Amino acid sequence: MTTELTSADAPSVFIPGPATPYQGDIARYWNNEARPVNLRLGDVDGLYHHHYGIGAVDHAALGDPQAPGYEQRLIAELHRLESAQAETLLDHLGPVTPADTLVDAGCGRGGTSVMAHQRFGCRVEGVTLSSAQADFGNRRAKELGIEDQVRARVCNMLDTPFDKGSIAASWNNESTMYVDLDDLFAEHARLLRPGGRYVTVTGCWNPRYGQPSKWVSQINAHFECNIHSRREYLRAMADNRLVPQAVVDLTPDTLPYWELRATSSLVTGIEEAFIESYRDGSFQYVLIAADRV
């Protein structure tokens, strides 16, 4: 079963405090976002993501581009790669029991939250600045009959309501580029219990390149975000009691997703920037898993 968010369903913008003018801009941006590339991919199986994909393209499943139904098969393949990315993030959360509570920071429409509950049987709390996203995710959880276990709330991920040390694991799936990393990791360190696991999957500019490339600048402008360098992630984690256990370069794994997406009807105009920056090494797609000490 799928859900279509119409303009009549869209709630008024609510921006949780403490909020900066920039956070207000981001809340409005995501309240108004309804890109087909997010919604049509989610319609495949009802898991609505706001991130990209990893893995080799299954060309046998795609079949002949001239054959009927090719575009539908292409959309299904892009969505499969999206969900494979979320599965990889969940693989790095460590042992999780049904009694645990997890936090999905910057949860979007809740795809990864739902997948985490389905895998672990635990409670998942999502937070987002967007009231439209939270309403969409909560409506979807109710349709699945898991609204008592998966919830999205309108909340500033830098100032969450969770008790200190109450969370077993938390993550950001492509949402760290909207916040200061020191503030973000301080909050994750506060809410995680000792030994709890934090995971992020993110695009970051490569410090070996020297400075953010023109492609990275284009991505920043397109999404109204501020992409950090890989070095900044590791430094901010070290300053906030988060000790990396794994740093995985997913750049070669995400490039096939972008090359396939660039051939679809769902192009948004930013595909070239991602493809060229991954190819020239100025931009990287990484997973970092860290333990709270």
d(CA 170, CA 26): 22
Q: Stretch 254-267: mean pLDDT, rounded? A: 96
Strands 192-205 and 101-105: unpaired
Length of the chain in terms of residues written: 293
d(CA 283, CA 273): 10
Q: What's the pLDDT at 75?
A: 96
Percent of the chain with pLDDT over 70: 94
d(CA 9, CA 58): 37
Whether pLDDT at 15 is above 90: no
d(CA 64, CA 146): 39
Q: Token pair for residue 249?
A: 């370069």
Q: Stretch 266-290: mean pLDDT, rounded? A: 97
- What strands, in cross-sheet order, belong to the sheet with 242-249? 150-154, 123-128, 101-105, 167-173, 192-205, 283-292, 242-249
Contacts of residue 158, defined as CB under 8 A and 6 or more positions apart, other chains included, come to: 179, 180, 183, 184, 187
Task: Report the range of poorest mean pLDDT among 9-23, 30-44, 106-120.
Answer: 9-23
Q: What's the pLDDT at 81?
A: 98
Strands 283-292 and 242-249: antiparallel
| Average of per-residue pLDDT values in the chain | 93
Contacts of residue 189, defined as CB under 8 A and 6 or more positions apart, other chains included, come to: 240, 241, 242, 292
Q: Token pair for residue 115?
A: 């997948």
Q: Which residue has the tokens 């679809």?
A: 264
Q: What's the pLDDT at 35?
A: 83
Q: What is the pLDDT of residues 131-181, one digit of tens each?
A: 999 999 999 999 999 999 999 999 999 999 999 999 999 999 999 999 999
Percent of the chain with pLDDT over 90: 89
d(CA 24, CA 43): 29
Residue 53 · residue 78 · CB < 8 Å: yes
Q: What one-character-per-residue DSSP string does 177-240 give? A: GGS-HHHHHHHHHHHEEEEEEEEEEEEEE-GGGSS--HHHHHHHHHHT--PPBHHHHHHHHHTT
User: How does residue 33 score in pLDDT terms, banded at 50, 70 and 90?
Assistant: confident
Half-sphere exposure for 34 (CA within 13 Å, toward CB): 11
Q: Stretch 14-26: mean pLDDT, rounded? A: 76
The one-letter amino acid at 284: Q
Whether pLDDT at 14 is above 60: no
Task: Give the gyration radius of the chain's Cα atoms.
Answer: 18
Q: What's the pLDDT at 37?
A: 87
Beta bridge partners of 288: 200, 247
Q: What's the pLDDT at 177?
A: 97
Residue 170 · residue 185 · CB < 8 Å: no
d(CA 21, CA 257): 34
User: How does residue 13 score in pLDDT terms, banded at 50, 70 and 90?
Assistant: low
Q: What's the pLDDT at 1?
A: 32
Which domains occur in the chain, in start order?
Answer: 19-292 (3.40.50.150)
What are residue 68's phi and psi, to 5 degrees?
-55, 140
